[in-house]
Structure 1
Amino acid sequence: MIAELADLIDLVPLAAVPAVLVAIFFIAAEIGFRYHRRFGGKGGAEDEGQVLSTALLVLALLLGFTFSMALGRYDERRQLVVQEANDIGTAWLRAGLVPTPLGPTLQAALADYAQVRMTSPLPGETAKLARAATLRNRVWALTATAQATLDGPRAVSLVSAINAVLDTGTSREKAVAARVPGEVMLLLVIFASVACFLLGYVLDAHGHRHRFASGVLFLLMALTIMLILDLDRPADGAILVDQSAMESLVASLAPAGG
């Protein structure tokens, strides 16, 4: 049940997230306001304010923790793009040490592989992932044949470079598939809604709704959650991983690959 609810968050378009969340927060605050008006406790407004302050503090910690998690995974994906481009470029150069015809054939296979990897491979792109796996197998088969034509140091250098290409490719695919757990995002939205409920509850204790100030707070909370989702979604949104390193590599290898 929780997993199904968490999956619903991904169904909301990123641009619509702030509006949806602000609406939820206003509804939660209004429920809190009306609840206090009808069932208000005997405690003073100061005591209720302390409860709200604690809830907002915990919410801030949860927002910061989730933002740090999403930012860390985004940064990992960004670094792996550069690393894979460097690894493929190094392997392509070392393949040039292999005598003809194996050397040019291996370089052409690496250029084809770079073309497939020019954009981050998304988990749902099964055809692209299968194509990349097929090319990795081809590159390794050619490497196994080519290293036999080289002396010891050059053979070790070539195999090491190809191994780096294969390892980084797998790491990049796993990094793109890694997301902030949906349960964490669901908890974040629920906790934010509860904090808004408490805000409405406390505002009624003070006798004022303060809709404008509350709206600004709700908007800031919604934009922060949208930013977390933007960092966590590799395929859509405004914050996408820069692919220029792979694009430059493909452009430099195009004559050899063609």
Structure 2
Amino acid sequence: MEVGTYFGVGEEWLALAAIALFFLAMILCLEFGRRLGQRARGRQDDGPVGVATIDAALFALLGLLIAFTFSGAAARFEGRRELIRDEANAIGTAYLRVDLVNAGAQPVLRQNFRDYVDARLSVYAHVTDPVSTRAAVAKVGQLQATLWRNAVAAAGATPGPQASTVLLPAINAMFDMATTRMVAAQAHPPRVIYFMLGFLALACSMTAGFGMANGNRKREWLHVMAFSTSIAMTLYVIIDLEYPRVGLFTISHADQILIDVRNSMGTAPR
């Protein structure tokens, strides 16, 4: 799978363009609905009847779908930030347990750890560059193999079972956290949900415009702009939260805890 799928590379401009077009589409639907309402009122003295229930059902469904989608996006955003903390804790714990192996094997293992953390930070440092990100992901895999091989050899050369039973599980947990973060980066709702949101928003725009029809043909621009802007911005925030490495809301600041762990290892701190 492409690295861009993990992190939303290139999604920020696509999202902005889509939201801008969607905003204009909502205004057009409001105007189209208003004109339909004008025609309906011209044919009926009492105006359209029996549509309030349908309007309420459509807006309730739109609100419910937005609420669930927004809640899920916010939860995933927070979960990804917590995973950075968990990975930093796992790396710090494994690094401390290097003390359990023979002193002669420790320098190599400690350098392996430094290289590994540098590679992990590089994965998320330039997510807008798919080539660099793919190279960083590949390097992480190579360093995992090297670190594990050296850790197994060091634990085997250390008297007693303590190094094997304490160090190796900690390193394995550290690798598992890297995989968990990668899987979490791919966790997004099916795109059909976003299409459904867009369809409902446009449908509600038409019904709202229909209800705003009046005899003097006056357009309620304040209400039109307020409704269109509110829905469009809400959808943009949802998309932005789903791709937290680009856009307005990012979790890049949470990487500082991993940088602090790397700096605690010494030798050319970042």
Instruction: Provide TM-score, normalisation by structure 1.
Output: 0.86
The residue type equivalent to 1:177 in the other structure is Q
CA distance in 2 between counterparts of 1:209 and 1:68 reads 34
Residues 112 and 257 in structure 1, CA contact (< 8 A), matched pair in contact too: no
The residue type equivalent to 1:127 in the other structure is A
Task: Give 1:256 shift.
Answer: 7.9
Structure 1: stretches of 5+ with no match in the other structure: 1-6
Task: Give 1:15 shift.
Answer: 4.6
The residue type equivalent to 2:138 in the other structure is A
| 2:100 match: secondary structure | coil
CA distance in 2 between counterparts of 1:115 and 1:250 reads 7
Task: Give 1:20 shift.
Answer: 2.8
Equivalent residues in 2 for 1:1-258, closer than 5 Å: 10=11, 12-16=13-17, 18-38=19-39, 45=48, 47-118=50-121, 121=124, 124=130, 125-150=133-158, 151-204=160-213, 209-241=219-251, 242-255=254-267
| 1:251 match: secondary structure | helix
Residues 118 and 250 in structure 1, CA contact (< 8 A), matched pair in contact too: no
Q: 113-122 vs 124-133, which deviates more?
A: 113-122
% same residue:
25
Q: 97-106 vs 125-134, which deviates more?
A: 97-106
CA distance in 1 between counterparts of 2:207 and 2:97 reads 64
The residue type equivalent to 1:144 in the other structure is V
CA distance in 1 between counterparts of 2:245 and 2:157 reads 43
Instruction: Provide TM-score, normalisation by structure 2.
Output: 0.83
CA distance in 2 between counterparts of 1:217 and 1:257 reads 50
The residue type equivalent to 1:163 in the other structure is N
Task: Give 1:249 shift.
Answer: 1.3
CA distance in 2 between counterparts of 1:163 and 1:223 reads 42
Q: 212-221 vs 31-40, which deviates more?
A: 31-40
Aligned length in residues: 251
Residues 55 and 195 in structure 1, CA contact (< 8 A), matched pair in contact too: yes
Q: 141-150 vs 126-135, which deviates more?
A: 141-150
CA distance in 1 between counterparts of 2:108 and 2:39 reads 79
Task: Give 1:236 shift.
Answer: 1.2
| 1:240 match: secondary structure | coil
Residues 12 and 247 in structure 2, CA contact (< 8 A), matched pair in contact too: no
Task: Give 1:14 shift.
Answer: 4.5
CA distance in 2 between counterparts of 1:53 and 1:209 reads 22
Measured against aligned partners, the alpha-carbon deviations of 1:40-77 in whole angstroms (never above 9, x if no partner) come to: 68685463233222211111110011111211221121
State the partner residue of 2:3.
none
The CA RMSD over aligned residues, in Å, is 2.7
Task: Give 1:31 shift.
Answer: 1.5
Structure 2: stretches of 5+ with no match in the other structure: 1-7
CA distance in 2 between counterparts of 1:256 and 1:98 reads 24
Residues 156 and 164 in structure 2, CA contact (< 8 A), matched pair in contact too: yes
